Amino acid sequence: MKYKILIVDDSELTRKIMTKTLSMTCLDIGEFIYASNGREALKKLDENWIDIVFADINMPVMNGIEMIEKMHEDGILKTVPVVMVSTDGSQARIEELKMKGIRAYIRKPFKPELVRDVVNDLLGEK
């Protein structure tokens, strides 16, 4: 099964880095879809069947936390795994995010192997 991956970040550069990193892995990726804030991401989630979301926290219009809160109000969207990607290393902040419903946290900078393991962990056949 080819994965459809949604990358949500207000920085075009970060979206490119994320795409490049994911492309360097052996993951079977069918399509990348992009959004520059939470609201745009919700629209993309509505229009597409997304397997996994990689999202930034700080974004204008709607940040990553508000986005995940909105996703959890929807019976279907709340089943789509969200991986938060940020430079923050605070364990307290990461715990807070996990309580909100994120499935994994990746701290920047990251290696392709870590991203691959996270995807396999969340989507891989058990």
Residues of the shown chain interacting with other proteins in the complex, contacts defined by CB under 8 A: 11-14, 16-17, 20, 58, 86-93, 96, 107-109
CA distance 85 to 119: 13
Say which entry of other proteins, Mg ion, none residue 16 contacts (CB below 5 to 8 A, set by partner kind). other proteins
> Cβ atoms within 10 A of the Cβ of 102, count?
20
Q: Which is nearer to other proteins, 39 or 93 (CB)?
A: 93
Report the DSSP beta bridge partners of residue 103.
none
Cα–Cα distance, 60 to 38 (Å, whole number): 8
* Residue whose CB is less far from other proteins, 90 or 120: 90
Q: How far is the CB of 59 from Mg ion (least distance, A)?
A: 5
Q: Which does 14 bind (CB under 5 to 8 A by kind): other proteins, Mg ion, none?
A: other proteins
Q: How far is the CB of 27 from other proteins (least distance, A)?
A: 19
Is the CB of residue 67 less than 8 Å from the CB of residue 55? Answer: yes
Number of C-beta neighbours around residue 20 at 10 A: 10
